[in-house]
């Protein structure tokens, strides 16, 4: 995560909500003992408030697949650049073949995620 600024990226908010959700899952079912019963009540209230806030900031399934598609696109571009670099440097045939296969796999992964994201978008618009 980057330094705290006036604006948050969606990825940072999603990461934060996942981490808070993990914390709440760990706390659920945990026994907390304290001599002051008021503190236990306050902890339970705060957990409830956090759970309610999570619903507001949790990403939709479409947003999750949009991010996955974005990362797959970036990986595909990186794989293409690496393949072009290997071809340009006239490396061994086996090396070129290995990078070509990696590039083709990244293209397939991107297209698969893109298609699924578009199906989700169509289903959510109806």
> Would the pLDDT of 1 be above 70?
no
| Predicted structure pTM score | 0.66
Spatial separation of the C-alpha atoms in residues 79 and 89, rounded to whole Å = 15
Rounded to the nearest integer, the mean pLDDT of the chain is 86
Residue among 64, 58, 59, 65 at smallest CA distance from 118: 65
Q: Which of 29-33, 55-59, 111-115, 119-123 has the lowest mean pLDDT?
A: 29-33
* CA distances from residue 5 to 8, 32, 61, 80, 86 in whole angstroms, order as listed: 7, 35, 27, 34, 40
């Amino acid at each position: 995560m980057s330094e705290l600024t006036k604006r948050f990226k969606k990825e940072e908010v999603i990461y934060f909500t996942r981490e808070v959700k993990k914390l709440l899952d760990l706390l659920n079912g945990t026994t907390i003992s304290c001599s002051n019963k008021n503190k236990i009540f306050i902890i339970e209230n705060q957990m409830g408030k956090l759970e309610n806030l999570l619903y507001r900031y949790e990403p939709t399934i479409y947003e999750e697949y949009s991010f996955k598609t974005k990362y797959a696109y970036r990986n595909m571009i990186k794989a293409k650049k690496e393949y072009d670099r290997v071809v340009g440097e006239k490396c061994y045939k086996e090396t070129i073949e290995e990078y070509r296969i990696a590039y083709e796999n990244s293209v397939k992964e991107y297209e698969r995620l893109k298609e699924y994201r578009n199906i989700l978008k169509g289903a959510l618009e109806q």
